[in-house]
Every structure is written in C-alpha cells, then in structure tokens.
Amino acid sequence: LPDGVEATASVAPGDSISHAVASLDWLPGEVVVVGSSRLAQQSRLFLGTTAATMLRELPVPMIVVPRAGH
C-alpha cells in the first residue's frame, strides 16, 4: 500500500455470513477486499458462493481480487 494508507484485517464471529457482517462495526469509507474463488465461473464475476452472499449482506462496497491467471 502507498504511504499513509492503512489497512486492517478483521475476523468476524457468527454462525452465518449475515451474523458475521452484523457483528462488525462499519465505518464510513470502509470497503471489504476478498479474493475470487477458483471454483467461480467467469460469468459470475469470479464470485464463489460465500463472496456472492457477502455482496448481498455487506453495508459497504466489496472489491473482488481475481486469482492469478484470470
């Protein structure tokens, strides 16, 4: 990351993605960065089942980083 840009990693507890997302305190301007699934089809924008569910549940933007070679 460039100087002055901070990033943190969080692990959210919960028995579902919805519960995990709700357990975090979201701040204005935050984003979630996830890696694409090796099993996801290209037509699904590199999203696996978990990332697709996260996209629907998150109150902030999500960035999907494609796997190498995609």
pLDDT per residue as tens digits for the range 17-28: 999 999 999 999
Contact (CB, 8 A) for 32 and 58: yes
Q: How far apart are CA 58 and CA 37, in angstroms?
A: 18
Burial of residue 52 (CB within 10 Å: 0-12, 13-18, 19+) is middle
CB 17, CB 7: distance < 8 Å: no
Supply the DSSP symbol for 32. Answer: E
- What is the distance between the alpha carbons of residues 6 and 3, in angstroms, rounded to a whole number? 8
Domain ranges of the chain: 28-65
**Chain segment 5-56, per-residue pLDDT in tens:** 888 888 889 999 999 999 999 999 899 988 776 655 555 555 677 878 888 9
pTM exceeding 0.75: no
